[in-house]
């Protein structure tokens, strides 16, 4: 990493700066932790490896905002950078060249603090970083943390940052929050993979530039409103799902696929994405667009199986590093969970700092379990497995599309099939018996009820 970061760290140490908390990573989890701790009077240093905040943070595009009420002032809430405010959420089920969609339009989602927005991460993460700095936190960019020494009751924690030539600097603080994202190298360095359940998916995404007015007309939008479409049946024979989100003058489209399945089936993610984009229900939405950005990123979908992560000595983990991402079929929520976990972890650190009692950190498990992070993860604990099953990935899309086909295809002079016959025949075509259908639907119902 850069000489600049080493220089900045040396200056901080040379100037006798002392920190209560070092936050590693300035994604949503790290920034939220820094805001929370700095608001409570802690001296906070954020170390971010990117050359600007958000530089490394590829994601789909939708952020659910209500958690920010507990973090930001009203003035800050009214200036969150956004592309569009989501007023329609859809689930689309593809099979062959057919598609069934269920959409919910709710204009009230865009009023006041919106339920969800699309936003570019360099802007959203940069905005949160500024809020942390406005509260006194110090941010050093291009600072790759290569090691963390957890410390203990009598010794402070310490982090090592390094440049490309192996020259290192160390800096210590009472506490460290590691918010390094979905590829938790520091966590593995400190604790190994003991007790951790790896469940990685690969996300691939393209941003397609399209004129703002064309997007408005194509999707029936106005006044900066936007659409969030989650897609089942978008990933050919590989387990996963797709998404399509509207930005102001671009569309984010991508897939999240099971990494192991992708490897086993020897499929290329970009080939799957091309197939998805070529689907007759998707390609007209992208027509005339120009690809202006593309990339791939890991997702850590282990969820509650890895709870809690830490504390280890004076070190805690937040966000994707602590497996807080909720990937549960119709829900893909990472940023809001990362923010919530950053807040919880930083509150604990602030409590431990003021009471000078490390034992306080042991309350992490209870705090996470009681928060919406723990409750939702527990409630939806079977969702990832269910939505990745052969039934949900292959059979359900076939049945849903066949039923819709039979019901809505007018077959005069033959009489209409009727719902029951349409369901029966569609199940037969998909090779699903009555027993399997009842078992799988009630399993799904039990998970999402
Ligand atoms: C394809 C895809 C689509 C997604 N879609 C959505 C979506 O639409 N909505 C949603 O809410 N979530 C979505 N997610 C999930 C979401 O991106 C994550 O849950 C969220 O970014 C987690 O935040 P975080 O702060 O924990 O980690 P990150 O956002 O990954 O931030 C980690 C930060 O730490 C820095 N860092 C890492 N290691 C070091 C180090 N050693 N030293 C210094 N700095 C370091 C990184 O540069 C980065 O800035 C998606 C993810 C993917 C991959």
Residue 195 — very low, low, confident or very high, per pLDDT cuts 50/70/90?
low
Residue 283: the pLDDT is 98
Q: Do residue 282 and residue 408 come from a single domain?
A: no
pLDDT at site 2: 66
Q: Does some domain include residue 92?
A: no
Instruction: Identify the domain containing residue 280 by its residue range.
Output: 200-300
Token pair for 89: 């959420």
Between CA 428 and CA 248 the distance in angstroms is 44
CATH of the domain at 279: 3.30.9.90
| pLDDT grade for 210, boundaries at 50, 70 and 90 | very high
Q: Output the pTM of the full model.
A: 0.95
Average pLDDT estimate for 183-198: 80
Using alpha carbons only, how large is the chain's radius of gyration in Å? 24
Compute the distance from residue 185 Cα to the ligand 1 centre, in Å.
Answer: 14
pLDDT digits (tens, 9 = 90+) for 78-109: 999 999 999 999 999 999 999 999 999 999 99
Q: How far apart are CA 350 and CA 227, in angstroms?
A: 39
Give the atom of ligand 1 at the shortest distance from the alpha carbon of 254. 1
Residue 107 Cα to ligand 1 midpoint, Å, equals 29
| Ligand 1 midpoint to CA 53 (Å) | 11
272/320 same-domain check: no
- The pLDDT assigned to 11 comes to 75
What distance in Å separates the CA atoms of residue 430 and residue 394, rounded to the nearest whole number? 9
Q: Which residue has the higher pLDDT, 17 or 141?
A: 141
Overall average pLDDT of the 253-260 stretch: 95
Q: Which atom of ligand 1 is nearest to the CA of 228?
A: 8
Instruction: Give the tens place of pLDDT for each residue, 269-321.
Output: 999 999 999 999 999 999 999 999 999 999 988 877 777 677 999 999 999 99
The rounded distance, in Å, linking the Cα atoms of 230 and 382 is 19
Cα distances (angstroms) measured from residue 99 to each of 58, 95, 375: 28, 6, 33
> Tokens 């990117």 identify what position?
50
In a domain, 294, yes or no: yes
State the CB neighbour count (10 A cutoff) for residue 176.
Answer: 34
* Contact predicate 229/251, CB 8 Å: no
Residue 334 Cα to ligand 1 middle (Å): 8
Is residue 197 predicted with pLDDT exceeding 80? no
pLDDT, position 131: 98
Angle (nearest 5°) at CA 241 between 235 and 246: 110
Which residues neighbour 445 within 8 Å (Cβ) at sequence distance 6 or greater?
A: none
Q: What CATH number corresponds to the domain at position 363?
A: 3.50.50.60
Do 123 and 175 belong together in one domain? Answer: yes
Q: How far is CA 368 from CA 39, 270, 354, 448, 449, in A?
A: 21, 37, 21, 21, 22
CA of 396 to the centre of ligand 1 (A): 31
Query: Which residues lie with the beta carbon below 6 Å from any ligand 1 atom?
Result: 24-30, 47-50, 56-63, 143-145, 179-182, 186, 203, 205, 254, 256, 297, 299, 319-321, 325, 332-336, 338
The predicted structure's pLDDT at residue 193: 67
If you take atom 27 of ligand 1, which residue's CA is the nearest one? 181
Region 155-180: what's the mean pLDDT?
Answer: 91
Instruction: Provide mean pLDDT across the span 391-402.
Output: 96
Residue whose CA lies nearest to ligand 1 atom number 35:
25
Task: Give, using CA atoms, the residue closest to atom 50 of ligand 1.
Answer: 59
Number of H helices and E strands in the chain, helices first, is 17, 18
Mark whether 233 and 284 lie in a shared domain: yes
* Same domain? 75 vs 152: yes
Residue that is last in its domain, among 282, 300, 318: 300
Whether 268 and 328 share a structural domain = no
pLDDT at 433: 97
For residue 339, being part of any structural domain is answered with yes
Which tokens hold the place of 193?
């993979």
Share of the chain above pLDDT 70, in %: 97
Give 5-59 pLDDT, tens digit per residue. Answer: 777 777 776 777 789 999 999 999 999 999 999 999 999 999 999 999 999 889 9
Residues 216, 364, single domain; the answer is: no
The number of folded domains in the chain is 3
Residue among 334, 336, 346 whose CB has most ligand 1 atoms within 8 A, to mutate: 334
* Residue owning the nearest CA to atom 45 of ligand 1: 25
Whether residue 399 is contained in a domain is answered as yes
Q: How far apart are CA 343 and CA 346, in angstroms?
A: 5
Q: What pairing do the DSSP bridges indicate for beta strands 19-24 and 62-64?
A: unpaired
Average pLDDT, the chain: 93
Question: What are the tens digits of pLDDT across the range 342-385?
Answer: 999 999 999 999 999 999 999 999 999 999 999 999 999 999 88
């Amino acid at each position: 990493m850069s000489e600049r970061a080493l220089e900045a760290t040396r200056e901080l140490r040379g100037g006798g700066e002392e920190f209560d908390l070092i936050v590693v990573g300035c994604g949503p989890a790290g920034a939220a932790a820094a805001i929370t701790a700095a608001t409570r009077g802690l001296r906070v240093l954020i170390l971010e490896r990117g050359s600007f905040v958000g530089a490394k943070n590829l994601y789909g595009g939708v952020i659910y905002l209500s958690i920010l009420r507990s973090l930001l002032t009203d003035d800050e809430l009214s200036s969150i950078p956004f592309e569009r405010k989501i007023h329609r959420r859809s689930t689309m089920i593809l099979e062959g060249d057919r598609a069934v969609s269920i959409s919910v339009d709710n204009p009230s989602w865009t009023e006041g603090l919106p339920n969800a927005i699309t936003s570019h991460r360099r802007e959203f993460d940069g905005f949160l970083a500024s809020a942390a700095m406005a509260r006194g936190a110090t941010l050093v960019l291009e600072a790759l943390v290569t090691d963390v020494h957890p410390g203990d009751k009598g010794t402070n924690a310490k982090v090592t940052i390094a440049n490309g030539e192996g020259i290192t600097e160390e800096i210590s603080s009472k506490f460290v929050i590691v918010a390094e994202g979905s590829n938790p190298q520091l966590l593995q360095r400190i604790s190994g993979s003991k007790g951790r359940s790896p469940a990685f998916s690969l996300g691939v995404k393209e941003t397609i530039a399209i004129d703002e007015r064309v997007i408005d007309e194509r999707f029936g939008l106005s006044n900066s409103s936007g659409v969030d479409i989650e897609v089942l049946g978008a990933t050919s024979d590989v387990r996963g799902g797709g998404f399509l989100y509207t930005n102001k003058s671009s569309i984010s489209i991508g897939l999240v696929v099971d990494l192991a399945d992708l490897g086993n089936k020897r499929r290329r993610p970009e080939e799957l994405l091309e197939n998805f984009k070529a689907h007759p229900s998707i390609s007209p939405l992208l027509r005339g667009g120009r690809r202006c950005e593309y990339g791939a990123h890991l997702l850590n979908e282990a969820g509650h199986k890895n709870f809690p992560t830490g504390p280890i000595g004076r070190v805690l983990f937040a966000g994707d590093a602590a497996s807080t991402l909720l990937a549960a079929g119709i829900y893909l929520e990472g940023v809001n969970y990362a923010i919530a976990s950053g807040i919880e972890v930083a509150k604990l650190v602030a409590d431990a700092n003021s009471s000078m009692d490390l034992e306080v950190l042991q309350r992490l498990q209870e705090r996470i379990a009681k928060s919406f992070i723990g409750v939702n993860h527990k409630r939806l604990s079977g969702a990832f497995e269910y939505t990745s099953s052969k039934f949900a990935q292959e059979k359900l899309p076939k049945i849903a599309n066949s039923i819709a086909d039979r019901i809505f295809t007018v077959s005069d002079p033959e009489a209409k099939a009727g719902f029951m016959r349409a369901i029966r025949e569609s199940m037969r075509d998909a090779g699903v018996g009555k027993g399997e259908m009842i078992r799988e639907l009630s399993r799904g119902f039990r998970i999402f009820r």
